[in-house]
Chains A and B, each alone.
Chain A
Amino acid sequence: MLTKRIIPCLDIKNGRTVKGVNFRNLIDAGDPVELAKHYAKHGADELVFLDISATLEGRNTTLEMVLKVAEQVNIPFTVGGGVSSIENVNCLLKSGADKIAINSSAIKNPCLINVLSEKFGSQCITVAIDAKRINKKWTVFMAGGTIPTSLNLFDWAKEVEQRGAGEILFTSMNNDGIKTGFANVALAKLTKVINIPIIASGGAGTVQHFIDAFKIGKSDAALAASVFHFKDISISELKKELKKNQIPVRL
């Protein structure tokens, strides 16, 4: 049986992990490769690296990091953040990334989804969608959640699927960072309107939140950052709890 995935997300700047990583010197938490190995060993099913470097130099450092992760980590990983061209994707895949996440570039140029999925295969193209519920409507945002668009979450998700994306990474901006649970109602609705896997993101604070994301939100995977980085929740304990709650997981 296909299992539900638990995915730690690492923010990367100039080849180092940044923001909210607290491992009390157990490992060099600033080193993404060490952190990735740690998570892989403790039962993470996949990893997501989000490159927040602003400079070309920073991006090249990240490319070197991707190569090192591919060399040393034996589970799949996705790289996103600032990916906007065939050439970007080609470099990242050639360096050993398994999947690529695109976000703003897909909004600016939706044809990019078609081009990338035809060239590299749908299975490696994840479209990340940041959306916020405003006046009962889910509005899609771009540029790291700073610029609202005219797109509605559900319509955009459908279009993204039709254009060939293999997976959607949906971050609820209302839930992100406040640890009150995932946006389960929106997630469950997404599952009804599209037929590709959905990764839930934004809001993880407790084990129960993950249970709800799978049981109520019907998501295929759940992504979180700080609860794992600050060791509020250990991945192996989380997966044991999920199993107790009849959610299929890899143990």
Chain B
Amino acid sequence: MTLVIIDYGIGNTKSVQFAFKRIGKEAVLSSNPREIEQADRVIFPGVGEASSAIKALKKKKLDKVIPQLKQPVLGICLGMQLLCNTTQENKTKGLGVFNVDIKRFSKKVKAPQIGWNTITNLKSNLFKGINSNSFMYFVHSYYALDCMEAIANTYYEYNFASALQKDNFYGVQFHPEKSSLVGEQILKNFLTL
């Protein structure tokens, strides 16, 4: 099985690649549309700012490629947010895979949320063998509103959608690659979806 991590110059590709290596799976970094289309599994990572990330995707014409993918795709953190309709971060239009918008936490809470928080209402095979209230590592100032496509929720100011799924597309707001053994289990699950 081939696993490709989309490399568009934004984010934590190395950490994700290392996490898969720890669970015994070699991942290839690529920005080549053909290579991405032909992979059995695709990871769409990202940390940083949304509008520059979309620009970087467009430059490599990946904004057209990603929404058309047919194999299981996992967006992580900003990767998940870019798969949504829009994000408040510099009023950026996303790729529109998930029918939900991304908002910023209000001044009532500290932003970014940094640290370990629980995931509940787990609704997908992505979380097979994972208990509700397991801890995952989060670092973010923007979040997805709770919606029909939510497959996990986390409470910080709101009970927001901390994971999303639509057809073959999955997205997680937290960092499974940095979330200890539970995070590694989620990555293993992704490989067997």
Q: How far is the CA of A71 from the CA of B21 in the complex (A)?
A: 8
Q: Smallest CB-CB separation from B19: which chain A residue?
A: A74
Would B114 and A197 count as touching, CB distance under 8 A? yes
Would A124 and B47 count as touching, CB distance under 8 A? yes
With known contacts A94-B14, A123-B140, A221–B115 Cβ distance under 8 A: yes
Q: Tell which of A2, A72, A95, A96 has the most Cβ of chain B within 10 Å.
A: A2
Please count how many residues in chain A sit with their CB below 8 Å of the partner chain's CB atoms: 36
Would A2 and B107 count as touching, CB distance under 8 A? no
Would A195 and B111 count as touching, CB distance under 8 A? yes
Q: Smallest CB-CB separation from A45: which chain B residue?
A: B116
Please tell me if B40 contacts chain A, counting CB pairs below 8 Å: no
CB-CB contacts below 8 Å: A1-50 with B: 1-5, 40, 45-46
Q: Smallest CB-CB separation from A121: which chain B residue?
A: B48
Please tell me if B15 contacts chain A, counting CB pairs below 8 Å: yes
Task: Tell me the smallest distance from the CB of B183 to a CB of chain A, in Å.
Answer: 7
Q: How far is the CA of A115 from the CA of B52 in the complex (A)?
A: 14
Would B183 and A98 count as touching, CB distance under 8 A? no
CB-CB contacts below 8 Å: B95-120 with A: 107, 110-118
Would B15 and A250 count as touching, CB distance under 8 A? no
A70 cross-chain contacts in B, Cβ below 8 A: 14-15, 18
Q: Smallest CB-CB separation from B176: which chain A residue?
A: A74
Would A74 and B14 count as touching, CB distance under 8 A? no
Would A166 and B112 count as touching, CB distance under 8 A? yes
Please tell me if A241 contacts chain B, counting CB pairs below 8 Å: no
Would A3 and B19 count as touching, CB distance under 8 A? no
Question: Which of the residues B22, B113, B139 comes within 8 Å of A98, measured between beta carbons?
Answer: B139
Interface of B is mostly: mixed
Give 1 or 0 for each of B130-142: 1 = CB within 8 Å of chain A CB.
Answer: 0000010111110
Task: Tell me the smallest distance from the CB of B50 to a CB of chain A, in Å.
Answer: 10
Task: Tell me the smallest distance from the CB of A30 to a CB of chain B, in Å.
Answer: 23
Q: Smallest CB-CB separation from B50: which chain A residue?
A: A121
Please tell me if A120 contacts chain B, counting CB pairs below 8 Å: yes
Task: Tell me the smallest distance from the CB of A129 to a CB of chain B, in Å.
Answer: 17
CB-CB contacts below 8 Å: A87-133 with B: 93-96, 98-99, 118-124
Q: How far is the CA of A1 from the CA of B112 in the complex (A)?
A: 15
Give 1 or 0 for each of B14-35: 1 = CB within 8 Å of chain A CB.
Answer: 1100110110000000000000
Give 1 or 0 for each of B114-158: 1 = CB within 8 Å of chain A CB.
Answer: 111110000000000000000101111100000000000001100
Q: Tell which of A5, A74, A93, A120 has the most Cβ of chain B within 10 Å.
A: A74
A196 cross-chain contacts in B, Cβ below 8 A: 110-112
Question: Which of the residues B49, B110, B118 comes within 8 Å of A121, measured between beta carbons?
Answer: B49
Question: Which of the residues A74, A221, A250 comes within 8 Å of B178, measured between beta carbons?
Answer: A74
Please tell me if A238 contacts chain B, counting CB pairs below 8 Å: no
Would B115 and A2 count as touching, CB distance under 8 A? yes
Q: How far is the CA of A167 from the CA of B141 in the complex (A)?
A: 12
Q: How far is the CA of A74 from the CA of B118 in the complex (A)?
A: 17
Q: Smallest CB-CB separation from B137: which chain A residue?
A: A76
Task: Tell me the smallest distance from the CB of A221 to a CB of chain B, in Å.
Answer: 7
Question: Which of the residues B18, B110, B177, B178 comes within 8 Å of A195, measured between beta carbons?
Answer: B110
Give 1 or 0 for each of A55-89: 1 = CB within 8 Å of chain B CB.
Answer: 00000000000010011101110000000000000
With known contacts A74-B180, A166-B112, A123–B139 Cβ distance under 8 A: yes
Q: List 28 A-B contacts (CB under 8 A).
A: A1-B118, A3-B116, A3-B135, A4-B115, A5-B115, A45-B115, A45-B116, A70-B15, A71-B22, A72-B18, A72-B22, A74-B22, A74-B183, A76-B175, A93-B12, A96-B18, A98-B15, A118-B49, A119-B48, A124-B47, A124-B139, A166-B112, A166-B114, A195-B110, A195-B111, A196-B111, A221-B115, A250-B135
**Interface residues in chain B, defined as those with a beta carbon under 8 Å from any beta carbon in chain A:** 12, 14-15, 18-19, 21-22, 47-49, 107, 110-118, 135, 137-141, 155-156, 175, 177-181, 183-184
Q: Give the 4 A-B residue pairs with the shortest CB-CB distance, closest first.
A: A121-B48, A250-B116, A250-B135, A123-B139
